[in-house]
Structure 1
Amino acid sequence: MTTTDTTDTERSDTPDQARTVVAASLIGTTIEWYDFFLFSTAASIVFPKLFFPAGNETVGTLLSFATFAVGFVARPIGGILFGHLGDRVGRKATLVATMALAGVATALIGVLPSYASIGIWAPLLLVLFRVLGGIALGGEWAGAVLMAVEYAPPGRRGLWGSSPQIGLGLGLALGTGAFALLGSAMDDEAFLDWGWRIAFLVSLLLVVVGLVVRLKVLETPAFRKMQEDADVARVPVVEVVRDAPSRRNLVLGLLARWAEGAAFNTWGVFVLTYAVMTVGMPRTGILVAVTIAGLASAAVVPLAGLLADRFGRRAVFAAGCAAFGVGVYPAFLGLGTGSLTVVVIVLVLMLGAVYGVQSGAESTLFAELFPTRTRYTGMSLVYQGSGIYASGLTPLILTSLLALAGGSPWLACGYLVLTAVISVVATRALRPVVDL
């Protein structure tokens, strides 16, 4: 049976505070995802040339994507660590820590010497900074969502819960847009030598702005009520695993998110390599296309949140996963034309519209799967645990399937369709345990 986890009287904070909460969630996730997508974009077009031994370009790309995947392996660690703190100490303090850690890790990549300068230390340090950033992001997402959802008024929780997801599209647009701007302002030699580093160093300035806003936010009403009731979980991750409804939702949630993670990393990450190396499109052109699609996604996300309030989170998220599966083959046909106009249309539809629907509905959906005392940890385990295979390994898997098929994308498409089928089935089987 669905229970009510928080009451309206617990949400009595001022409208100004509520607006600050939404702004803090949005700004924070935008900055965190900007950091993250800088790395994913650089993993496609910069890191293979700078931080790995010269030689086979495909091998360099695979090694770079493997480094990219390491961050996703680190994210569940961050989810457990910061989830524990978020469920016991509070959402606010945890989110301040995650933002500071992510900013420092990103800036350090911006000053990292190349393989030609320090040899094997270059990829090793790159992995270390990637791990630190992954740990930070592992604790960021659930806390940012909970800041919005646990303040949201009744009937608008899908919309409010979608606000941190807008930051994902904006962060992608800022990350790829920064590289597109820098790439167009200088020649390839200057860009690879030092130009790309500017985008990483700018992260420190953005983090300062984000911390100022985030420090103004009060703790969420739901967490304060839990503290007043002395209902704080001793070891949240253990409770998630032991509690039967939470355990069931954890397993199904891990499967449900597969298509969403695969979708984003296909259209936002893998496409950069595929369009440039396989199709032969210019780098700046495809970066601009992804930037436009990221902005489109940011616009669609709140609409998906509204739809989730109207028709239910599961129905909207499942519809987005199904649309992803249906659109995969036509999308790759469009990418294969090499026409920038066609590619922009494909990415706006698949990354902007279809992925925007998935992203906008999932945050509140996953928040409803766990009670307040273990919600931060449970959401983190679902989102960050699935990130290992659904997100981090996607570019590596698709690149390998592309090579196996001799450059043909159809094996890769078959894999993506399979993820969509799994996600739709798992999503329909989810059973929320609270009514936020």
Structure 2
Amino acid sequence: MRRDTMERSPSPEQRTSRKTAKKAAASGWIGSALEYYDWFLYGTAAALVFPGIFFPEGHPAIALIASLGTYAVGYVARPIGAVVLGHWGDKRGRKNLLFLCMMMMGASVFAIGVLPTYGQIGILAPILLVLLRLVQGFAVAGELSGASAMITEHAPFGRRGYYASFSLHGTQGGQILAAGAFLPLTAILSDEAFQAWGWRIPFLLSVVIMVAGYVIRRRVEETPVFLDKNAQQETAKAPILEVLRKSGLDVVRAVCMTLVNVIGVTVSVFGAAYATQSGYGIGMSESVYLWIPVVANLVALAVIPWFGDLSDRFGRRPLMIVGSLGAGLLSYAYLFAVSQNNVPLAVIFAILTWGVLYQVWNATFASFFQELFPARTRVTGFAISQNIGLAITAFLPSIFTLVAPPGSSHVPLTVGTLCFGITIIGALAAWSARETHRVPVDELGKRDGEPVSREELARIRAETR
């Protein structure tokens, strides 16, 4: 018994590998939390605060539309950022990319926190706001692709899905922080104080997260995969051209799989409008839809690492397919519950659809996308695929509203069918891709990469726990 235990104890190299993987996971978590705290913080402020302080008075409806338009501008910059920052990450390294993204995002958010209002500098205020939002969109386009590449390439074989899931764990944590940032301030401060200066506090606090992220990321070494490729002069001269030429089909697959983000759009964006806007006649309280993202993301924090671990055991494709189709099917039930003005049932189905089944997909896609592309173009392939897919998804609420406008009698059926159809596209894209969870890191991105046996994978997983 003692001999077996000694033989199975981790070697010093394995202990070092696990320690490095944990550092990389922590770096990915806090970076993603910062980026998405800042990203979603802007969305909340664009609806609650910006119309009255950055745009001319006298036309509140126009000011609201313009303010929300500055939010959408960030999505325009994301595909551009994906190309530029993906190139940077594949040429200069994952660590350099993550520092660059974090500094750009942190600086732009802090600048918004000290930005003069329309009453102080006139039309220059909204112009500067738009420019800073463009910087945000540019920066966030490289964060998740760089963070998940850093984690995946540092993770022990057989545990890549589990560790890579922490980059998504950070995005959900950032959304919770952003959703809750304004709640204590609105409770403590008067309306006048909040509008005058209180709204700036959450933006200025991003400096604290940025400093913490810098300290953690400074301690994480560049990945051996990138260093080996760089030493062998195997970095691509033009990653965007190479990824399109050699991995074009995988880019298309990844874009289609990214469309499964329609679930979040259906639940939190269109679902909120359907439930609360007077034209649809449902009449639910807006406060319900302020809390749904918080509760759903709290559930997501609990399940994401577990689903990431399951993808290491059973493969990426099964979880991508089950998560896509399961969440898509459940969207019918969620929309039906909203149509019946059944608040408890709507909340339950929102949590099950977005907080659980969608997270089966969400916890898996980061490692899967990284594994589809070779190391020399990995960050670029991930970045352009994800951000093109997200740019398409950003237009879906408008499309849903066009096909199911206020006054429609079959909103759950119409929108539910569109949502389910899009998740079918994502599931088919996952089914058509090759399985990657049992392929060693040096063979990733190769069509002829030989996977290890299930028995060997189980043994390696036991040794690296």
Normalising to structure 1: TM-score of the pair? 0.88
Specify the code of the residue in structure 2 equivalent to 1:352: G
Query: What 5-or-longer segments of structure 2 have no aligned partner?
Result: 1-10, 442-465
Q: Distance in 2 between matches of 1:412 and 1:117?
A: 44
CA deviation digits over 1:372-397, x for unaligned, max 9?
0000110111111211112x323444
Pairing of 1:352-391 with structure 2 (within 5 A): 352-390=355-393
Q: Which residue of 1 is the match for residue 167 of structure 2?
A: 164
Q: What secondary structure sits across from 1:146 in the alignment?
A: helix
Q: 1:311: Cα distance to partner? A: 1.9
SS in structure 2 opposite 1:39? helix
Secondary structure of residue in 1 paired with 2:320: helix
**Letter matched to residue 211 of structure 1:** Y
Q: What does 1:225-236 align with in structure 2 at a 5 Å threshold? A: 225-236=228-239
Q: CA separation in 2, counterparts of 1:387 and 1:74?
A: 12
**Match status 1:253 vs 2:254:** yes
Quote the Cα distance in structure 1 between the aligned partners of 2:353 and 2:379.
Answer: 30
User: Which residue does 1:266 correspond to in 2?
Assistant: 266
Deviation at 1:340, TM superposition (A): 5.3
How do residues 165-180 of structure 1 correspond to structure 2 at under 5 angstroms? 165-180=168-183
Displacement, 1:199? 1.4
Moved more, 128-137 or 426-435: 426-435
Q: 1:326 to 1:49 in 2, by over 3 A?
A: farther
Counterpart AA for 1:252: R
| Bigger relative contact order (CA 8 A; separation at least 6) | 1
Letter in 2 for 1:259: V
* Greater displacement, 321-330 / 214-223: 321-330
Q: 1:24 and 1:43, CA in 2 relative to 1: closer, same or farther beyond 3 A? A: same
Which range moved further: 409-418 or 202-211?
409-418
Answer whether contact 1:43 1:68 (CA < 8 A) is retained: yes
The Cα RMSD (Å) is 2.9
CA distance in 1, matches of 2:48, 2:339: 19
Kept in 1: contact 2:157–2:440 (CA 8 A): no
Contact 2:256 2:425 in 1 (8 A): yes
For residues 270-285 of structure 1, what are the structure 2 equivalents within 5 Å? 270-271=270-271, 274-278=274-278, 280-285=283-288
> 1:360/1:200 Cα in 2 relative to 1: closer, same or farther (>3 Å)?
same
The separation in 2 between residues aligned to 1:280 and 1:179, in whole angstroms, is 24
Aligned to 1:135, the other structure's residue is in SS state: helix
How far the C-alpha of 1:114 sits from its partner, in A, is: 4.4
Q: Equivalences for 1:25-424 in 2 at 5 Å?
A: 25-52=28-55, 62-115=65-118, 118-243=121-246, 246-260=247-261, 262-271=262-271, 274-278=274-278, 280-336=283-339, 341-390=344-393, 392-400=394-402, 403=405, 405=407, 409-410=411-412, 411-424=414-427
Distance 2:334 2:112 in 1: 33
Report the counterpart of residue 6 of structure 2 in structure 1: none
Q: Please list every run of 5 or more consecutive structure 1 residues that lacks an aligned counterpart in the other structure.
A: 1-7
C-alpha distance in 1 between matches for 2:360 and 2:239: 30
Q: Give the Å deviation of 1:343.
A: 4.4
Task: State which drifts further: 23-32 or 120-129.
Answer: 120-129
Q: Alpha-carbon deviation of 1:120?
A: 4.0
> Which range moved further: 220-229 or 118-127?
118-127
1:190: Cα distance to partner? 4.1
- For 2:391 and 2:231, locate their aligned partners in 1 and report how far apart those are by CA, in whole Å: 36
Q: In the aligned structure 2, how far is the partner of 1:319 from the partner of 1:229?
A: 40
Taking a change above 3 Å as real, the CA distance of residues 414 and 369 of structure 1, as seen in their structure-2 partners, is: same
| Cα displacement (A) at 1:91 | 0.5
Note closer, same or farther for the CA distance 1:39–1:355 as it changes in structure 2 (3 Å cut).
farther
- AA partner of residue 206 (structure 1): I
Quickly say closer, same or farther: Cα 1:270–1:56, change in 2 above 3 A.
farther
In 1, the alpha carbon distance for the partners of 2:154 and 2:388 equals 26
Q: In the TM superposition, what is the alpha-carbon distance from 1:365 to its structure 2 partner?
A: 1.0
In 2, distance between residues paired with 1:205 and 1:395?
A: 34
Contact in 2 for aligned 1:289/1:343 (Cα 8 Å): no
Change (3 A) 1:215 1:270: farther
Q: Is the 8 A contact 1:320 1:355 kept in 2?
A: yes
Judge which range, 210-219 or 76-85, deviates more: 76-85
Please state whether the residue corresponding to 2:248 is helix, strand or coil.
helix
Cα deviation 1:170-224 (Å, max 9, x = unaligned) = 1111110112332333455544443332212211121111111111110011111
Contact map agreement 2:34 2:174 (CA 8 A) in 1: yes
Counting aligned pairs with the same residue, the percent is 36
Structure 1 residues 42 and 67 mapped into 2: Cα distance closer, same or farther (>3 Å)? same
**In 2 relative to 1, CA 74–327 (structure 1 residues): closer, same or farther, beyond 3 Å?**
same
- State the shift of 1:332 in Å: 2.1
Structure 2 residue matching 1:428: 3-state secondary structure:
helix
Aligned partners of 2:64, 2:271: CA distance in 1, in Å? Answer: 13
TM-score, normalised relative to structure 2: 0.82
How far residue 351 of structure 1 moved from its aligned partner, in angstroms, is 2.0
**Structure 1 residue 129: deviation in Å?**
1.2
